[in-house]
Amino acid sequence: MRRSGAEVALSLAVLALGAGVALGTAFLPAQAGYARIGPNFIPAVVAFGLIVAGAFLLVEALGGGWRSMPEPAERTEHALHRGAFAWISGGLVAHMALMQWAGFVLAGAVLFACVARGFGSARALRDALVGLALALGVFLFFVRVLNVSLPGGWLKPLIGGV
Amino acid sequence: MEAFAGLLQGFDVALKPINLLWGFIGVTLGTFVGVLPGVGPALTVAMLLPLTAQLDPTGALIMFAGIYYGAMFGGSTTTILLNTPGESASIATALEGNKMAKAGRAGPALATSAIGSFVAGTIAVVLLTLLAPVVVEVALKFGPAEYFALMVFAFTTVAAVLGASTTRGLASLFVGLMLGLVGIDSQTGQPRFAFGVPELLDGIDVVVLAVGLFAVGETLYVAAYTSRLPETLEKMSGSIWMSAQDWKRSVPAWLRATAIGFPFGSIPAGGAEIPTFLSYSLEKKLTKHPEEFGSGAIEGVAGPEAANNASATGVLVPLLTLGIPTSATAAILLTAFQNYGIQPGPLLFQIQPDLVWGLIASMYVGNVILLVLNLPLIGIWVKVLSIPRPMLYAGILVFATLGAYSLHQSWVDLATLYVFGLLGFVMRRFDIPVAPAVIGLILGPLAETQFRRALSISQGDASVFLTQPISAAFLAVTAALVVVPWLVRRRRRLRKLG
């Protein structure tokens, strides 16, 4: 008998999502026109669907695990590498925060270096420089050639942008 | 004959030098990005979407058709040389393809997949050309009730019938449908689930979801679970040309696979995965060299690759004629249309025949470009594979975040992207299919509109879906698809017990 705590937790998350949508639906106006149904009808259907799917997942999870999952032997995986996950997540969050004031190029260089580090690269300075060059090239192409506006940030006096 | 006239008109558009150039750029970029390990066609198309911001619709869509084909071909190169199928439709190719590469026959494996893709792609485009006007003719008679029933059919096949588990497929579909609710209700202007965030009032962009699930989620998964495993890249050694024997064994496999792949793609049942495996097992049964299966049989590469391409082209039938995407990649192509304010469907064939037929004609051209470009350039594509993994994934994420950010120039899209990345990570780890979520997001709001329109016309009488014969037929088939397998399983279980 296989039982996975994570599967139970995910099933509960789907159920909770359904409950959340149901709650949100309760606050939507009915406004039924000719159709006799308003903007709250389909959300109610979706809430119902999420709750049913979550309930089935939970029943499977508690009764021996989700059905037809790949066998552990079929998976080519090593144990969860927390550091890798943390570096990439951190890189994405830093990128989000840096984008508005440091600008696209510097944010991109930081993201690049963090992701490379997450994949086990040990040469942070080289990665940051490669990232800088890549982000700068992309920036110039998008801003100058495609006329897409991207934030220049701290480098704005040098490279332009918004 | 209508098809023939349309196609001639289309070639007029597609053979303009500028459109040839877009097609050429599309195929090259698509192949380049598609070769990158871990990047499948859906992600390739999503990541390259911002590039078309300044193009006219015809040029942009022709470029996208090229990207679509290029990405498919690029993906198979990676699958064969690296044994990392970028998407489920390439798994069958990996079975024999990688074995051939290990045995020093990487060249013929790549050649049979390239030529097979060309053959299957071209036959499939011919079938598309002939079939599209027929479907359009029927679809012009569809009202909202028929469209709604058809969409329910598509939801059901994508979520419940394909894939390992109906339960997980449905969960994924409903998460996508839920995301589709976010934003302003198109019928009444009522904001729903936007929590007062202006960026959310516009709704959630399919590109953000697709890039989040496929790029961010995949990167997180690979880094956390497989990045510390050793990886072997097979060398491209020996001739890339196929011997007479290889040809003799490949040609029938290509043709059979096209016959399997195209219908699977064109009925709104999406997914190239099933036809590739069907083709694989058919070739295994028919082969005169059964001993080679498992150690690199060329039919086992030729068949699935051709099936994959034929079905990818087949998917364009419901997309272009009905506006219904049945694969994640088609969902993103539909976004590309919508970005230009174009809604694919039967009316598009009447309003903008230049555009539709130009696009179809460009696929003939695209297939040829793909063939002449890829066989000689295979050495370059192989070099792309040796980019160190840390650099590769770092670059992918720089482009992925760019795609999301350039939508509204807002960090909210970056935050949404990260949340979808976490979702994709979990879905990947727990074998929850992502395509139903992507299709639910884009098709959900369209289905809701048709549903409410149908009820408006019938003054709220819900029986309209069952009294219209076409709608009733679709719903009946849908119900059968869900109920019959369940009954069969139940009977089997009862028999075992009793």
Q: What is the tens place of the pLDDT at every residue in A90-107?
A: 999 999 999 988 999 999
SS3 of chain B: CHHHHHHHHHHHHHCCHHHHHHHHHHHHHHHHHHHCCCCCHHHHHHHHHHHHCCCCHHHHHHHHHHHHHHHHHHHHHHHHHHCCCCCHHHHHHHHHHHHHHHCCCHHHHHHHHHHHHHHHHHHHHHHHHHHHHHHHHHHCCCCHHHHHHHHHHHHHHHHHHCCCCHHHHHHHHHHHHHHHHCEECCCCCCEECCCCCHHHHCCCCHHHHHHHHHHHHHHHHHHHHHCCCCCCCCCCCCCCCCCHHHHHHHHHHHHHHHHHHHHHHHCCCCCCHHHHHHHHHHHHHHCCCHHHCCCCCCHHHHHHHHHHHHHHHHCHHHHHHHCCCCCHHHHHHHHHHHHCCCCCCHHHHHHCHHHHHHHHHHHHHHHHHHHHHHHHHHHHHHHHCCCCHHHHHHHHHHHHHHHHHHHHCCHHHHHHHHHHHHHHHHHHHCCCCCHHHHHHHHHHHHHHHHHHHHHHHCCCCCCHHHHCHHHHHHHHHHHHHHHHHHHHHHHHHHHHHC
Could you tell me the pLDDT band of residue B382, with boundaries at 50, 70 and 90?
Answer: confident
Question: Do A103 and A124 belong to one domain?
Answer: yes
Q: Tell whether A81 lies on the interface with B, counting CB pairs under 8 A.
A: yes
The pLDDT value given to residue B340: 85
The pLDDT value given to residue B269: 63
Contacts of A146 in chain B (CB under 8 A): 50-51, 53-54
> Domain for residue B201, yes or no?
no
Partner residue opposite A95 with nearest CB, options B399, B401, B453: B401
Residue A32 has pLDDT above 90, yes or no: no
Task: Tell me what the mean pLDDT of segment B66-83 comes to.
Answer: 85
Partner residue opposite B53 with nearest CB, options A120, A131, A146: A146
Question: Do A43 and A70 belong to one domain?
Answer: yes
Q: Tell whether A17 lies on the interface with B, counting CB pairs under 8 A.
A: yes
Partner residue opposite A78 with nearest CB, options B225, B393, B399: B225
Partner residue opposite B177 with nearest CB, options A6, A34, A46: A46
Task: Tell me what the mean pLDDT of segment B8-19 comes to.
Answer: 90
Question: Do A58 and A98 belong to one domain?
Answer: no
> B90-123 pLDDT, tens per residue?
888 888 898 898 888 888 898 899 899 999 999 9
Distance (Å) from the C-alpha of residue B4 to the closest C-alpha of chain A?
36
The pLDDT value given to residue B376: 80
Could you tell me the pLDDT band of residue A73, with boundaries at 50, 70 and 90?
Answer: low
Task: Extract the tokens encoding B431.
Answer: 């074998």
The pLDDT value given to residue A105: 95
Partner residue opposite B227 with nearest CB, options A84, A92, A135: A84
Could you tell me the pLDDT band of residue B131, with boundaries at 50, 70 and 90?
Answer: very high
Distance (Å) from the C-alpha of residue B431 to the closest C-alpha of chain A?
7
Task: Tell me what the mean pLDDT of segment B394-411 comes to.
Answer: 90
In the chain, the amino acid numbered A100 is Q
Q: Tell whether A9 lies on the interface with B, counting CB pairs under 8 A.
A: no
The pLDDT value given to residue A148: 83
Partner residue opposite B227 with nearest CB, options A53, A81, A91: A81
Residue B168 has pLDDT above 80, yes or no: yes
Chain B residue closest in CA terms to A97:
B411
Task: Tell me what the mean pLDDT of segment B183-195 comes to.
Answer: 88
Tell me the backbone φ, ψ of residue B141, rounded to 5 degrees: -85, -10
> Domain for residue B334, yes or no?
yes
The pLDDT value given to residue A2: 56
Distance (Å) from the C-alpha of residue B244 to the closest C-alpha of chain A?
37
The pLDDT value given to residue A15: 96
Question: Do A122 and A142 belong to one domain?
Answer: yes
Chain B residue closest in CA terms to A67:
B165
Partner residue opposite B456 with nearest CB, options A33, A49, A50: A33
Whole-model pTM?
0.91
Contact B210, B43 (CB under 8 A): yes
How far is the C-alpha of A127 from the C-alpha of B389, rounded, in Å?
12
Beta bridge partners of B183: B192
Its domain, for residue A95, covers: 82-159
Beta carbons of A49 and B170 less than 8 Å apart = yes
Beta carbons of B220 and A99 less than 8 Å apart = no
Distance (Å) from the C-alpha of residue B68 to the closest C-alpha of chain A?
21
Cα angle at B435 between A38 and B325, to 5 degrees?
A: 65
When divided into structural domains, chain B yields a total of 1
Q: Which of A67, A81, A92, A144 to mutate to test the interface with B (most CBs of B within 10 A)?
A: A92
> Domain for residue B12, yes or no?
yes
What number of other Cβ atoms are within 10 A of residue B243's Cβ?
12
Could you tell me the pLDDT band of residue A1, with boundaries at 50, 70 and 90?
Answer: very low
Share of chain A above pLDDT 90, in %: 62
Beta carbons of B228 and A81 less than 8 Å apart = yes
> Domain for residue B185, yes or no?
no
Chain B contacts in chain A segment 107-136 (CB below 8 A) = 108, 111-113, 115-121, 127, 130-131, 134-135
DSSP H or E stretch at residue A79: none
Of A74, A100, A120, the last residue of a domain is A74
Beta carbons of B409 and A36 less than 8 Å apart = no
Residue B221 has pLDDT above 90, yes or no: yes
Task: Tell me what the mean pLDDT of segment B439-454 comes to.
Answer: 93
Contacts of B229 in chain A (CB under 8 A): 76-78
Of A57, A74, A91, the last residue of a domain is A74
Chain B residue closest in CA terms to A114:
B394
Chain B residue closest in CA terms to A82:
B224
Residue A48 has pLDDT above 90, yes or no: yes
Distance (Å) from the C-alpha of residue A156 to the closest C-alpha of chain B?
16
Question: Do A23 and A56 belong to one domain?
Answer: yes
How far is the C-alpha of B100 from the C-alpha of B240, rounded, in Å?
12
The pLDDT value given to residue A19: 96
Its domain, for residue B301, covers: 2-147+234-408+458-497
Partner residue opposite A138 with nearest CB, options B398, B457, B460: B398
When divided into structural domains, chain A yields a total of 2
Residue B86 has pLDDT above 70, yes or no: no
Residue B203 has pLDDT above 50, yes or no: yes
Partner residue opposite A127 with nearest CB, options B219, B394, B397: B394
Nearest 10 degrees: CA dihedral of B415, B418, B420, B421?
Answer: 170
Question: Do A69 and A86 belong to one domain?
Answer: no
Of A54, A74, A94, the last residue of a domain is A74
SS3 of B28-80: HHHHHHHHCCCCCHHHHHHHHHHHHCCCCHHHHHHHHHHHHHHHHHHHHHHHH
Beta carbons of B397 and A135 less than 8 Å apart = no
Beta carbons of A37 and B228 less than 8 Å apart = no
Q: Which of A8, A45, A148, A162 to mutate to test the interface with B (most CBs of B within 10 A)?
A: A148
Beta carbons of B398 and A112 less than 8 Å apart = yes
Beta carbons of A10 and B430 less than 8 Å apart = yes
Contact B351, B5 (CB under 8 A): no
Could you tell me the pLDDT band of residue B248, with boundaries at 50, 70 and 90?
Answer: very high
ipTM above 0.90, yes or no: yes
Partner residue opposite B53 with nearest CB, options A14, A68, A148: A148
Beta carbons of A43 and B168 less than 8 Å apart = no
Q: Tell whether A7 lies on the interface with B, counting CB pairs under 8 A.
A: yes
Chain A residue closest in CA terms to B417:
A92
Q: Tell whether A83 lies on the interface with B, counting CB pairs under 8 A.
A: no
> Domain for residue B182, yes or no?
no
Distance (Å) from the C-alpha of residue B442 to the closest C-alpha of chain A?
15
Q: How far is CA A53 from CA A68, A126, B168, B434, in A?
A: 16, 48, 8, 15
The pLDDT value given to residue B403: 87
> B451-487 pLDDT, tens per residue?
999 999 988 888 889 998 989 999 999 998 888 877 8
> A106-157 pLDDT, tens per residue?
999 999 999 999 999 999 999 999 999 999 999 999 888 888 889 998 988 8
> Domain for residue B37, yes or no?
yes
Beta carbons of A117 and B390 less than 8 Å apart = yes
Beta carbons of B171 and A138 less than 8 Å apart = no
Chain A residue closest in CA terms to B447:
A42
